Amino acid sequence: MKRIIALTLAVMLLAVCFAGCKGEEKTIVVGYTKYPPMNYMESDKLVGFDTELAEKVFTNLGYKVSFKEIQWESKYTDLNSGTIDCIWNGFTCNSADSDGVQRSEKVSFTYKYMINRQVVVVKKDSGFNAAADLAGKQGGAEKDSAGESYAKTFSNVNVKGFTTQMECLMEVNAGTIDFAVMDALLVESLVGKGDYANLTVIEALSSEKEYYAIGFKKGSELTAKVNEQLEKLAQDGFMMTLAQKYNVDATVVTDFADQK
């Protein structure tokens, strides 16, 4: 009888322990903003290159992944307060913010995994072809973005900050602003097509190369762990296959040798 009672108690203890372990499953919160092809909604589901890559990386690391839409201008506050655990959303790492401070001074960046540029979007019939044509005109860019910083390098332009890049695109399409400065990866997926068929890019005004990386709090151990996963997923072909799915295979970075 004592053996039966002891066995029963042991089984109950194991059950409690198992339930407790399940309840302690780690969750990582990824901060993002919506824009194709990186993070966007399709059939009520969040998809995109960054979305799927983040899910793969953190699942491999043993985390449950949760995505939280943020305001780009509040990204550092959200990260440092713990509202989110990382910024994974076409985050340009080789640029400074509007305060002149390099982003690399504010966060811990992973390897650069995607090439981007800032481009100037206008209406096809605008007649704008050079920087001088933008003088005195009203431009738009996402607040506290690399696009906003680049827009302000043009002489005698007015730059209005918007909450998202998609807002900028819609405003220039509606004619309420004269031009928008945005990420090339977003622009290439939408401009000149569908609802944005009447828009084009002034190619001569595109910026130098930029690079996307994932941002963590300074000193975070996750930076190195994510780098290891990026290397593995590049080597086994996952990143390139995913890049082909979202038509960014010409700009994805899969060789990190020079970043170590």
Confidence of residue 24 (pLDDT cuts 50, 70, 90): low
The alpha helices in the chain, defined as continuous H runs, are: 2-23, 49-60, 75-81, 146-151, 165-174, 184-190, 222-235, 238-245
End-to-end CA separation in angstroms for the chain: 63
Task: Over range 2-10, report the average pLDDT.
Answer: 43
Q: CA-to-CA distance for 203 and 171, rounded, in angstroms?
A: 20
Please choose, from the candidates 51, 105, 58, the residue with its C-alpha nearest in 3D space to the C-alpha of residue 242. 51
Judge whether residue 42 has pLDDT over 70: yes
Looking at residue 259, its pLDDT comes to 95
Q: CA-to-CA distance for 74 and 19, rounded, in angstroms?
A: 37
Other CB atoms closer than 10 Å to residue 168's CB: what's the count?
28
Judge whether residue 6 has pLDDT over 80: no
Q: Which CATH superfamily hosts domain 25-114+211-259?
A: Periplasmic binding protein-like II (3.40.190.10)
Q: What is the DSSP code (8-state) at residue 113?
A: -
Q: Assign residue 101 a region: left if phi > 0, alpha if psi is -120 to 50, beta otherwise?
A: beta
Judge whether residue 8 has pLDDT over 70: no
Q: What is the pTM of this model?
A: 0.85
What CATH number matches the domain at 118-207, 3.40.190.10, 1.10.760.10, 3.40.50.261, 2.40.50.140?
3.40.190.10
Task: Over range 86-91, report the average pLDDT.
Answer: 96
Task: Over range 175-189, report the average pLDDT.
Answer: 97
What average pLDDT is seen over the chain? 92
Phi and psi dihedrals of 113, rounded to 5?
A: -120, -5
Looking at residue 25, its pLDDT comes to 73
Judge whether residue 260 has pLDDT over 90: no
Please choose, from the candidates 204, 127, 197, 210, the residue with its C-alpha nearest in 3D space to the C-alpha of residue 169. 197
pLDDT digits (tens, 9 = 90+) for 229-239: 999 999 999 99
Residue intervals of the chain classified under CATH 3.40.190.10 are 25-114+211-259, 118-207
